Structure 1
Amino acid sequence: MSKPRLAEGLVGASGVSIPIGNSKESKESPGSTWPKDIIALEPVETAWDVVLKKIKELSDSVEKEGDGRGEDCRDAFMVADLGVLANRHQVFCQALPRVSPFYAVKCNSSPWMLRILAALGTSFDCASQGELEQVLALGVAPSRIIYANPCKPVSHIRCAALHGVKLLVFDSEEELIKVAQHHPGARLVLRLWTQDSGSLFPLSSKFGARLEVCEHLLKSARDLGLAVVGTSFHVGSRCQTPRNFMKAITDCRRVFEMGSRIGHDMRLLDIGGGFPGEEGSNPEFEEDFPEGSGIEIIAEPRRFYATSVCMTAINIIAKKAVLEPGGRRKLLYYLNDGHYGTFRIFSRESEPRMPIVVKELSPKLPLFPCTLFGPTCDAFDKLFLKEVQLPELDVGDWLVFPFMGAYTSVMSSTFNGFSPTSICYAVGPELRSGYPQRICTASSHIANEPCGCLRPGFGLKKHPATSDDYERHRM
C-alpha cells in the first residue's frame, strides 16, 4: 500500500484521513507536501532562529529617519514549533505507557496543533459544542473524544448524541436527568471532588462530586437507565502536590467498587490533567488499578503538551521613567501585547516571567524595577501583577517570552480594537519527511495497550529548554 502524502491528509490512529486544509488556501508550492504558510526549518535551524530572523525583518522594515515612505510593522508575533509538540507527545507516551492521552482542546485550539495531534493518534478532551465540532471536522472518530465538561447545555448534549460522542462526564443528579432525556446511549464518567489546594489553579470549588454522594449518583444513573463506565478527577492545573494524585486514585478505586456492586461495568479511569512534569512525580496506579485488571486509563494533558511549543515576541512601543518616593527610579514599558492578548493567564500567577531581551547589552548594566503594560487604555492591562527587574531599554526594542503555548492565544480578545497576536508555525525536516511513515495506524490506540505511535528513533530536534538556553542565542 502506498504511503499517503501529507497534502492529501494525515493518517490518524483510527485509520481516518485528517485533512490539512484546502490546497488553494494553503498555496502549496510544486513538489511540496506542506503549505507555504508553514515555515520549513533547515536541519540545523530552530524556532528560536525563526524568531530572530522575523525580528530582524520587522525591524528593517521600520522607516528611517527623514524617510516618510516606510511603515512601522513591528507587531507582536508568536512562533509555534510543531516538532516540539510531537516530541512532548512522545515523552508523555514513554513516561506513562498505560495512559492514553486525550489532549484538552481548551489549552490551545490552534488548527495546526490539533491536526498534528490527531495525526499522532492523540485523542481529545472537549468542553463545548464548538470544540466538539472543531475536532470532529478533522476526521477524528467520536470514540477518540471525551466530553469532559461536567455541566453542559442541553443543545451541546444533543450535538454529542448526534455525532456519536458517547463519553460524557457528570458530577450531579441534575446532569444525569439531562443526559437521560437527550443522550440515553451515553457512557458516563463520574467526576470526583479532589483535594487541590496545592495547585496554582484549583478547580474543585466548581466541579466534582464528594465521595459521600457518589453511591447515590451511581444508583440514580442506574434507575434512569444510564451506563456509568468509570470515574475522573482533576487535581488542578499546575499541581505542586503529587500525593493529591494518589489520594484521588484511591478514591476512584472505592467508587469503582460502589459502581460494580450497583451494576455498572466500571472500566475507565480518567486521571485528568495538572501533571507536574517533574522527574519522579509520575502517577502510580499499580496498587489500586494493577496492570492486567482490564481497566483503561486515560488522561487530559494540556500544559504538558502545549507550553513549550510557542514563543511570543513583543515590542516596546512607549516608555516612561518615574521617580518614586526616596528617589528610586522606576521604568514603565508599554508593549504591543498584554493582558487582553496572549498574557491574560499570567495575572493569576504569583511570580512574573522574565523575558529575553533581544539586544546587545553590557553584563554590568544596572537593573531597574519595571512595570510591563499592555497596549490598551485599561490601567489593569499589565503582563504581570508584580514588577520585573530589567535594564533600561529603548522604544523599538524586542522582548521574547518562551513557553507561551498554554492558555495564551485561546484567551486573546480584540479589546480596544487591537488585533490578536499573529502566529506562524515551524516544522523541522524530521516531521516533513518522516511523518506519514511514522504515524500509528493501530485502531487499539485508545485501548489498554501502549500507543507506540512514534517508532523508536524518531529524532526530533531539541527546543531550548530554559531561558538560559535562549540567552546563549541572543543577538
Structure 2
Amino acid sequence: MKLENPEDQIYVLERGNDAVHVMKSIILSGMKEDAFYVLDIGEIVRKYEEWKVKLPRVEPYYAVKCNDSQMVLEVLAALGTGFDCASKGEINKVLSLGVDPSRIIYANPAKPISHIRYASEYGIDTMTFDNEMELQKVKQFHPNAQLVIRIRCDAEVAQCQLGMKFGCDPITEAPRLLRLAKSLGLDVIGVSFHVGSGCGDPPVFGRAIYSARQIFDLGNSLGFHMRVLDLGGGYPGYTGYSMNRIAEIINISLDEYFPVEEGVSIIAEPGRYFVASAFTLATLIHSKRDILGDSESEVPSHTMYYINDGVYGSFNCIIYDHAVCTPIPFNILDSPDDFAYRETLIPSSVWGPTCDGLDKVNDDILLPEMPVGSWLIYRDMGAYTLPVASTFNGYPIPKVHAVIEEHVWMMLKDRLPLTGDHFIKDNSLQSVRNDSWDELPHMLDDYEDIIPYSSYVGEVASTN
C-alpha cells in the first residue's frame, strides 16, 4: 500500500478486516510518527442508512462546516444528500463535485454581499434570513431568492448553543419580517430553526416544529407559498449514539403539524451525526515528565505525557466545540503481559506538542504508565476538528487514511462523483503482524473490559 497521497484514495479492506485493524497495522509497521486519522467510509454510509430508516420524511442536507474533507463530501454526494453551505467557499467546493444547485441551501442568516452575488450567479436560490438588513441585501443582490426565515428555539442542553447569534423570535420578530419581505416583493418559502449543535434535549424538536407551524400559517395568510421546513442541526454522532428519541419526537410532531398530504418538503442540516464516529485519531507520545510527590519520593505523583497533536491541531474542538476527548492507550494491547497496567494507574495529563501552556488535551485523568513511543487513540474525532486545525509551531495537520469494507465499496464504486480511481485494493499494510492480534481484544470496543472507562478517565467519559 503506497501512502504518498493517502487522502486521495479509499483503501478497500480484505474480508474480515476493519478500520481499527488498519490503524493497528499502520502503528505497528513503524512507518508513522506523525499523528494520523483512519476514516471509516462505511460508518458514514451506515449513518445515512439509519437516517433514511428512522426519519423517512426528512432529507438530510449535510452541514459542510462540520467537516469539509473532500472525501466526506464526495461520499455524501454519492449517497444523494443535499448540502448546507455557509459561505461562497463552501458553495464552490460542493458545486465542484457536480452537485446540482437545487441540493444546496445557503444557511447563513448573515451573508456578505459578495457571497450573495455569488449565490445568485450560480443558481443557489434557497437561503435563510433572520433580520431586516438581510432582506434589504437580498432584495438588491438576489431578488429571485427563495427565502427561509430562521426562528429561534433553543435546547436546554446542547454542546454548542447558537440562538444567541442567529434566529428571530417567532412571536415578536417573525411576523414583522414576513410582512417586510412581502412589501419588498421577496419570496419566502419556509421556516428553519437550529436547536443547538449536539442537542441533549430531544423534546425541543417538538417545540420548534410547533412554532414553525404558526409561522407557516402566518406566511400562507400573507400570500406566500410556504413549502419548506428546515429542522436544522443538533443531531449527535458519537459512537454508540442512538437517534431513536429525537427521531420519535420529530416523526410524531411532523405527523401532527405537517401531515404528509400538505406536501411540505422537510429537510435538516445534520453535521456531526454523519462524521463524528467515522474518524479515529492516533497520536504518538513523544515525551513524558514525571512529577515526584516530594524530594525523597521515587514514585511519581503525576505524569505529563506530550503527544504530537494538540489544541492548535485536531483538538481545537476542546476550545471551540466544548468537546471532551478520551484517550485510549494503544500499547495496553500490545501483548497480554501489558494487562498488568491495570494495577498501576497513575494521575496523568496529556499535552499537545506546541510551546503554548494552553495546549492541554486531557487533565486529571488516570492512565497506565506508558513509555515514550506509545500511542494514544481518540475516537469520535470527525466533527469540528480538521476544518479548524492549524500548523502552529510547525506541526502538521494529521493525514487521513480512508478505508472501506468490500461490500460497501461494491455499493458506492459506480456512484458519481466517486469513480474507480477513488478506490485501491491493496493489502500490504493490512497484513502487518496480523497473526499477533488473534487473541487480543478489540482495541476500542473491548478496552473497557481491561480497564473500565470510569477507573481511568473519571467523569470525562460520562460526557457522551
How far apart, in 2, do the equivalents of 1:97 and 1:267 lie? 18
Residues 181-220 of structure 1, C-alpha deviations (whole Å, 9 max, x = no match): 1001100000001123311211100000001110110011
Instruction: Give the match for residue 9 of structure 1.
Output: none
Which range is displaced more, 425-434 or 233-242? 425-434
Instruction: Give the match for residue 83 of structure 2.
Output: 124
Which residue identity is paired with 1:38?
Answer: I
Instruction: Give the match for residue 176 of structure 1.
Output: 135
Instruction: Give the match for residue 420 of structure 2.
Output: none
Number of aligned residues? 407
Residues 204-242 of structure 1, C-alpha deviations (whole Å, 9 max, x = no match): 000000011101100111111110000001110111111
User: 1:372 touches 1:382 (CA, 8 Å); kept in 2?
Assistant: yes
Within the alignment, does 1:243 sit opposite 2:218 as a pair? no
How far off its partner does 1:323 sit? 3.1
Q: Which of residues 326, 332, 352 is equivalent to 1:374?
A: 352
Return closer, same or farther for 1:97/1:438 CA change in 2, 3 Å cut-off: farther
How far apart, in 2, do the equivalents of 1:469 and 1:184 lie? 57
Which residue identity is paired with 1:274?
Answer: G
Going by fraction, where is helix more abundant, 1 or 2? 2
Instruction: Give the match for residue 397 of structure 1.
Output: 374
How far apart, in 2, do the equivalents of 1:253 and 1:215 lie? 13
Instruction: Give the match for residue 294 of structure 1.
Output: 263
Which residue identity is paired with 2:135?
Answer: L
How far apart, in 1, do the equivalents of 2:74 and 2:165 lie? 31
Instruction: Give the match for residue 454 of structure 1.
Output: none
Residues 271-310 of structure 1, C-alpha deviations (whole Å, 9 max, x = no match): 0111244333312311111122111100001111001111
Return closer, same or farther for 1:226/1:402 CA change in 2, 3 Å cut-off: same
Instruction: Give the match for residue 436 of structure 2.
Output: none
Instruction: Give the match for residue 313 of structure 2.
Output: 341
How far off its partner does 1:46 sit? 0.1
Instruction: Map 1:64-143 onto structure 2 (within 5 A).
Output: 73-143=32-102
Return closer, same or farther for 1:470/1:55 CA change in 2, 3 Å cut-off: same
Which residue identity is paired with 1:279?
Answer: N
Which residue identity is paired with 1:383?
Answer: V
Residues 92-135 of structure 1, C-alpha deviations (whole Å, 9 max, x = no match): 11110000000001111111111111011111000111000000
Instruction: Give the match for residue 450 of structure 1.
Output: none
How far apart, in 1, do the equivalents of 2:201 and 2:244 lie? 13
Which residue identity is paired with 2:235?
Answer: F
- SS of 1:125's equivalent in the other structure is strand
Within the alignment, does 1:278 sit opposite 2:243 as a pair? yes
Which residue identity is paired with 2:291?
Answer: V
How far off its partner does 1:74 sit? 1.0
Residues 4-54 of structure 1, C-alpha deviations (whole Å, 9 max, x = no match): xxxxxxxxxxxxxxxxxxxxx999xxxxxx998322211111000110000
User: 1:234 touches 1:274 (CA, 8 Å); kept in 2?
Assistant: yes
How far apart, in 2, do the equivalents of 1:183 and 1:167 lie? 11
Within the alignment, does 1:355 sit opposite 2:320 as a pair? no
Which residue identity is paired with 1:163?
Answer: Y
How far apart, in 1, do the equivalents of 2:150 and 2:190 lie? 9
How far apart, in 1, do the equivalents of 2:4 and 2:105 lie? 30
Return closer, same or farther for 1:136/1:470 CA change in 2, 3 Å cut-off: farther
Instruction: Give the match for residue 444 of structure 1.
Output: none
Instruction: Give the match for residue 52 of structure 1.
Output: 24
Within the alignment, does 1:407 sit opposite 2:384 as a pair? yes
What's the TM-score once normalised by structure 1's chain length? 0.81
Return closer, same or farther for 1:79/1:436 CA change in 2, 3 Å cut-off: closer
Return closer, same or farther for 1:159/1:425 CA change in 2, 3 Å cut-off: same
RMSD: 2.7
How far apart, in 2, do the equivalents of 1:373 and 1:153 lie? 38
Q: Which of residues 158, 163, 166 is equivalent to 1:199?
A: 158
- SS of 1:407's equivalent in the other structure is coil
Return closer, same or farther for 1:325/1:216 CA change in 2, 3 Å cut-off: farther
Which range is displaced more, 277-286 or 103-112? 277-286
User: 1:319 touches 1:333 (CA, 8 Å); kept in 2?
Assistant: yes
- SS of 1:383's equivalent in the other structure is strand
- SS of 1:287's equivalent in the other structure is helix
Q: Which of residues 183, 187, 194 is equivalent to 1:227?
A: 187
Instruction: Give the match for residue 433 of structure 1.
Output: 410
What's the TM-score once normalised by structure 2's chain length? 0.82
How far off its partner does 1:368 sit? 1.6
Which residue identity is paired with 2:194?
Answer: H
Residues 371-406 of structure 1, C-alpha deviations (whole Å, 9 max, x = no match): 11100011001114x322101111100111111111
Which residue identity is paired with 1:336?
Answer: N
Which residue identity is paired with 1:342?
Answer: S
- SS of 2:266's equivalent in the other structure is strand
Return closer, same or farther for 1:436/1:362 CA change in 2, 3 Å cut-off: closer
- SS of 1:252's equivalent in the other structure is helix
Q: Percent identity?
A: 40
User: 2:129 touches 2:148 (CA, 8 Å); kept in 1?
Assistant: yes
Return closer, same or farther for 1:438/1:416 CA change in 2, 3 Å cut-off: closer
Residues 402-456 of structure 1, C-alpha deviations (whole Å, 9 max, x = no match): 111111111100111111111111122123323256899xxxxxxxxxxxxxxxx
Return closer, same or farther for 1:142/1:438 CA change in 2, 3 Å cut-off: closer
User: 1:335 touches 1:373 (CA, 8 Å); kept in 2?
Assistant: yes
Residues 291-334 of structure 1, C-alpha deviations (whole Å, 9 max, x = no match): 22111100001111001111100000110011358987011000
- SS of 1:423's equivalent in the other structure is strand
Instruction: Give the match for residue 460 of structure 2.
Output: none
How far apart, in 2, do the equivalents of 1:101 and 1:89 lie? 9
Gapped regions of structure 1 (runs ≥ 5) = 1-24, 28-33, 62-72, 441-463
- SS of 1:78's equivalent in the other structure is strand
How far off its partner does 1:473 sit? 11
Which residue identity is paired with 2:395?
Answer: F
User: 2:331 touches 2:370 (CA, 8 Å); kept in 1?
Assistant: no
User: 1:85 touches 1:306 (CA, 8 Å); kept in 2?
Assistant: yes
User: 1:121 touches 1:439 (CA, 8 Å); kept in 2?
Assistant: no
Within the alignment, does 1:259 sit opposite 2:236 as a pair? no
